[in-house]
Amino acid sequence: MLETFRPLIDAGAELDLSDANAATAELVRRFDPTGHEAQSLNAELRQLLEEGKIAASWLCAGDG
């Protein structure tokens, strides 16, 4: 399952978080959320969620 998250782990590796806006821009550059790789990852994550292999609670953490 770790390999599923590998693209995100790699994209965030050594990301300078001292400037949130710059970090966000760099992360988008490294892993385009609208790109094919992100769409594939989303499909894999949905499958894992449906299989009960990952929890959904972290997906809604900002909902209050």
Residue 64 has pLDDT above 80, yes or no: no
Residues 6+ apart with CB under 8 A from 31: 7, 8, 11, 37, 38
What's the mean pLDDT in 29-46? 93
- Please give the structure tokens belonging to residue 21: 């806006």
Domain that holds residue 37: 2-63
Q: What is the mean pLDDT of residues 48-62?
A: 75
The whole-model pTM stands at 0.69
pLDDT of residue 34: 94
Residue 2 has pLDDT above 90, yes or no: no
- The predicted model gives 28-40 an average pLDDT of 94
Residue 38 has pLDDT above 50, yes or no: yes
Neighbours of 28 (CB within 10 A): 14
Structurally, the chain folds into a number of domains equal to: 1
